[in-house]
Chains A and B, each alone.
Chain A
Amino acid sequence: MDTFIQQIINGLVLGSIYALVALGYTMVYGILGLINFAHGEVVMIGALTALTVIKLLADSGLPGTVVVLIGLLAAVPVCMALGFTIERIAYRPLRNAPRLAPLITAIGVSIVLQQLAMIFWGRNYHAFPPILPTSSREIGGAHITDVQIVIILLAVAIMAGLMLLVNRTRLGRAMRATAENPQIAGLMGVNINVIISATFLIGSALAAVAGVMVSANYSIAHYHMGFILGLKAFTAAVLGGIGNLPGAMLGGVLLGLIESLGAGYIGDLTGGFLGSHYQDVFAFFVLILVLVFRPSGLMGEKVAERA
């Protein structure tokens, strides 16, 4: 039972992070119908930027939480600027091109960002300095650190804020209108370019937060971390029904839970034949099953059938 609760906790932490990244994918997809392959790299840049700042300030005598907060505040604008630039250079000129063209530029951007990060930060793994409190609590025999509690709470708060923004504000209404039909939203006086830029800015800010969370939780960051994380987060977005914000959150949390429970129990279930290194298989296997039986994802209302 202890292991079960422990895996649930790990899954929730991982799932909150996936959910934050998945929101970035799903917002862009909802509006542009584009898989923003470079989103995972934005997360990576956010993590490394924050880590650089945190390392600089680690010996300054400031309390650890303040240092991490400063790092986070430094990473958010960097990622926002990056997201904005990516959209302007690589996606905007191709808005009316066939769908494969922006997909290829997205892959190109992803490669370029990864290589630049490698040139800038090197090939090595960067360790997160041990400045955060390591205190932990016990729930039913399982441990959860305070950092993990903060990660979950912060993710929930951000998602609630995002839902408010999308459902209750003028900007949110414009975003929903653009997602529904960009041409008509434009005719109704919505400045689509501004809305699309805003979407990228918000998504990239979420990515920065997620990047800091990942590196704080696993105490590590490196130039290659964005790729697989982005892949998983995109999987989560599809799982929940891409283009659907609550779906991305649900998909993220579910994926996190499935992965950690799967990795925890696969050895027992298969009599030791398959081990926990099959963790990544779960994500994709579940994805394929869901899509076969429910092609629009768990919360998607309609199958995207835009020509």
Chain B
Amino acid sequence: MSTDKRRALLGMVLIGVALAILPFIIGKGLGNSWVRVLDFALLYVMLALGLNIVVGFAGLLDLGYIAFYAVGAYLYALLASPHFGLHWPVWAVLPLGALVAGLFGVLLGAPTLRLRGDYLAIVTLGFGEIVRIFINNLNAPVNITNGPQGISQIDPVRIAGVPLSKPLEIFGLTLPSVYLYYYLFLGLTLLVVFVSIRLEDSRIGRAWVAIREDEIAAKACGIDTRNVKLLAFAMGATFGGVAGGLFAGFQEFVSPESFGLMESIMVLCMVVLGGMGHIPGVILGGLLLAILPEALRHGAVPMQQAAFGRVLLDPESLRMLLFGLALIAVMLYRPAGLWPEARRKREFSEKAK
């Protein structure tokens, strides 16, 4: 084994150990609510990586991505909750959610194949809103989604009969529920990362990049742009569907509120801020945008009390305000994202000349 390979292996082992003990450090240092934040951050990373396939690799601007998350979440909620009295196991619901979300992806992709750029953006946005409005209103005359109240008492994720919603004792260690979900989400996130990396280097991945750079040239090179674009939508949607199912099981409650346009925009911002098409960048963007606002929410009240003696701005609006300002600032100073792909960086500096 060469030193390079050995070093890479060592690095991976170190990262693995760090990721494995991370919830213990955070849980002991900051409290278990922060492990919960971390769980959500991992869900967002999965979503961002899914959207990255559509926006980053294939260059198709999708503003309705959260619809697939919603499809996955609601499918889980309907098939594993007292709402219909169904209690399907996770290993059946999650793949089904991925499949159905993928079908929705094709459903969205098929009519929009001829559109590009902003037209595509607005159609996908409309699609996302349509899905949300239907979820919001399909409680009458037949109650399917329970309308704005959402569906509660969803079954938690169970692995080998062990529900992740209760603390688990193992080797004398008690692992709280949020830790268990952390390991589940971490595992799936790593799987998504792995799939993303393999896709990027594959024939299909290169076809996506070719379409992103110049669709007509890609077509001339013999790429079946129709199928390849549909595949991008379907793959991205599949990731979203899986993340949605996990969200439903983790939260044990879903309502249409979680799937608004703002969420789609949030995920898009993760992809663009991190660095479109660059997997480490997208992961960074997802983690940052999921964790920083939470930190602000927690830090804002005590800081204001210390500085002014009272709370001037409620933390929620301060959080959004800073989020908006950060979006503007990052785009002004780093339009390619915080951690851009090498190829993209080159393009930018060439353009600047």
Tell me the A residues contacting B by CB distance below 8 Å.
Answer: 29, 33, 35, 89-90, 93-94, 96-105, 107-112, 114-116, 118-119, 227, 231, 234-235, 238, 242, 272-275, 277-278, 280-281, 283-285, 287-288, 291-292, 295, 304-305, 307
B→A interface (CB under 8 Å):
61, 111-112, 114-119, 121-123, 125-127, 129-130, 133-134, 136-137, 140-141, 214, 261, 265, 268-269, 272-273, 276, 313, 317, 320-321, 323-328, 331-332, 335, 351
Q: How far is the CA of A101 from the CA of B276 in the complex (A)?
A: 11
B265 contacts A107, C-beta separation under 8 Å: yes
Known contacts A107-B269, A118-B317, A119-B317; is-contact A89 B328 (Cβ 8 Å):
yes
3 residue pairs, one from A and one from B, having the closest CB atoms: A108-B327, A284-B126, A111-B324
Give Cα A6 to B75, complex, Å. 41
Q: Which residues of A contact B272 (CB under 8 A)?
A: 100-101, 104
In the complex, what residues of A have CB within 8 A of residue B129's CB? 231, 280-281, 284
Kindly report which residue of chain A lies nearest to residue B271, judged by CB atoms: A100
B116 touches A305 (CB 8 A): yes
Contacts of B317 in A (CB 8 A): 115, 118-119
Which B residues lie within 8 Å of A33 (CB)?
A: 118
Are A304 and B118 neighbours in the complex by a CB distance under 8 Å?
Answer: yes
- The CA-CA distance from A111 to B266 in the complex, in Å, is 11
Which of A115, A273, A288 is within 8 Å of B324, CB to CB? A115
Docked Cα-Cα span, A273 to B134, in Å, equals 12
B274 CB to closest chain A CB, in angstroms?
12
Residues in A with CB closer than 8 Å to B118 are 29, 33, 35, 99, 238, 242, 304
Asked whether A96 lies within 8 Å of B351 as measured between CB atoms, the reply is yes
Please, could you name 19 A-B residue pairs with CB atoms under 8 Å apart, sorted by A? A35-B118, A35-B121, A94-B335, A98-B335, A99-B118, A100-B61, A104-B272, A105-B328, A109-B324, A112-B321, A116-B321, A119-B313, A274-B137, A281-B134, A284-B126, A284-B130, A288-B127, A291-B123, A295-B119
A162 to B: closest C-beta gap in Å: 22
Chain B proximity of A118: nearest CB distance (Å)? 6
Chain A: CB-nearest residue to B321: A115
Known A-B contacts A108-B324, A111-B324; the reply to A292 vs B111 at CB < 8 A is yes
In the complex, the answer to whether B323 meets A111 with C-beta atoms within 8 Å is: yes
Instruction: Determine the distance from Cα of A113 to Cα of B339 in the docked complex, in whole angstroms.
Output: 28
**Which A residue's beta carbon lies closest to that of B137?**
A277
Find chain A residues with CB under 8 A from B323 CB: 108, 111
Q: Are A97 and B335 in contact (CB under 8 A)?
A: yes
Taking CB atoms, residues of chain B closer than 8 Å to A118 are 317
CB-CB under 8 A from A112, the residues of chain B are 321, 324-325, 328
Residue in B123, B214, B328, B351 whose CB lies within 8 Å of A109: B328
Out of A35, A111, A274, A283, name the residue touching B327 (CB < 8 Å).
A111
Residue in contact with A238 in the complex, picked from B122, B269, B328, B332, CB distance below 8 Å: B122
Q: B72 CB to closest chain A CB, in angstroms? A: 21
Given A35-B118, A112-B321, the answer on whether A272 and B111 have CB atoms closer than 8 Å is no
Please determine whether A291 and B335 come into contact, CB atoms closer than 8 angstroms. Answer: no
A275 touches B111 (CB 8 A): no
Residue of B nearest to A287 (CB): B126
CA distance A115 to B328 in the complex (A): 15
- Tell me which residues across on chain A come within 8 A of B117, comparing CB atoms: 99, 304
A115-B324, A291-B115 are known contacts. Are A94 and B133 too (CB-CB below 8 A)?
A: no
Given A100-B276, A304-B118: A90 touches B140 (CB 8 Å cut-off):
no
Q: Which residues of B have CB within 8 Å of A235?
A: 122, 126
**With A108-B326, A291-B115 given, can you name 12 additional A-B contacts, CB distance below 8 Å?**
A33-B118, A101-B272, A104-B269, A111-B327, A115-B320, A118-B317, A119-B317, A277-B133, A277-B137, A280-B129, A283-B126, A288-B123
